[in-house]
Amino acid sequence: MAYNILIVDDSTPMRAVIKKIVKASGFNVGQFFEAINGLEAMEVLNNEWIDLVLTDYNMPDMNGLELVEEMNKDDHLKSIPAIMITTEGSRTRVEEFMAKGVMDYIKKPFTPEQIKQKLTHIMGETEDEEQRYDNGDEELDF
Amino acid sequence: MKNKDMTMAMKNSISDVLETMFFLSLDFSNDLDLLGLWDTGKDPIIAAKLNFSGPLSGYAVFYIPKKSALSITADFMGKDEQEISDDQIDGTVKEIINMIIGNTFSLYDPEAVFDLGVPELVGFHDFIKNLSDSGKRFSVVIETLENYLAFQMNITNQD
């Protein structure tokens, strides 16, 4: 199955890097969509089929948590897993993320392996996982 | 606030961010005079500022020569330097300060909640004059193989 992934971050370089890491992780990605904040993300979510949201927290206009809260108001959108990729590391803040419907979080700075682990946990093993390991291609690079 | 703990958190955070995500080999110096070696006429300095509030309030500024910023942006994005735009450089520098300051506070006090502003570019000359490492001002020179970078955090209020 190919997953459509929405990457929400106000930083162009960070969106590009996350996209590159997800591709390198071997996930079967149908299409990447991008948004620069929660407002743009909601537009994408209302017009496209999205299977997973990777969102930054600290963005202008609508932050990542507000985005998840908006998604939770919609019967369809609330079923889409959202992972917060954030510099926020305080336990209190992370508990708030989880309480408000964020499925998991990745703390910046991150390694490609950390992203891969979270995606595997959320979406399940990739179809070509076995084949990649057979090729000895276990290392991920930026 | 324990100044020693904050300095340690700041340096560890800078190492985490610049080494983990940007593969920079770095060292620290408290000799702020090293920044006098910057040739700002040939290589302008990009300065990104981030305000924060919470148990501590204030702002942080990250300084990096443009050539170094171009180099790490290209590496970060996996592109050639010729393909990198000024917007991408600015975005990378803003992302760096965002990560450094968020990570600094997580290391300093994992229980505390800080609100971070949105990073902005500021005039280098407006802030570099405040660079000092005393009282509630924390400043450090970051030595990379190619150049000197600097990071400054000014605490203006403490709850």
Q: Which CATH architecture has domain A3-139?
A: 3-Layer(aba) Sandwich (3.40)
CA distance B104 to chain A (A): 9
Q: Would you kindly state where each structural domain of chain B is located, as residue ranges? A: 3-32+40-158
pLDDT digits (tens, 9 = 90+) for A44-93: 999 999 999 999 998 989 999 999 999 999 999 999 999 999 988 788 88
- In this complex, is the C-beta atom of B111 within 8 Å of any C-beta atom belonging to chain A? yes
**Confidence check on the interface: ipTM exceeds 0.90, yes or no:** no
Q: Which residue of A has its CA nearest to B92?
A: A13
Superfamily of domain B3-32+40-158: CheC-like (3.40.1550.10)
pLDDT digits (tens, 9 = 90+) for B82-124: 999 999 999 999 999 999 999 999 999 988 999 999 899 998 8
Residues of A in contact with B17 (CB under 8 A): 108-109
What is the predicted pLDDT for the residue at A135? Answer: 42
What is the predicted pLDDT for the residue at B36? Answer: 80
Among B16, B88, B106, the residue with its CB nearest the CB of A12 is B88
CA distance B158 to chain A (A): 18
The residue of B98, B108, B121 whose CB has the most chain A CBs within 10 angstroms, and thus the best one to mutate to test that interface, is B98
Q: Would you kindly state where each structural domain of chain A is located, as residue ranges? A: 3-139
In contact, A106 and A118? CB cutoff 8 Å:
yes
CA-to-CA distance for B29 and B32, rounded, in angstroms? 8
**How many CB atoms neighbour CB A81 within 10 A?**
16
Give the confidence band of A134 by pLDDT, cuts at 50, 70, 90: very low
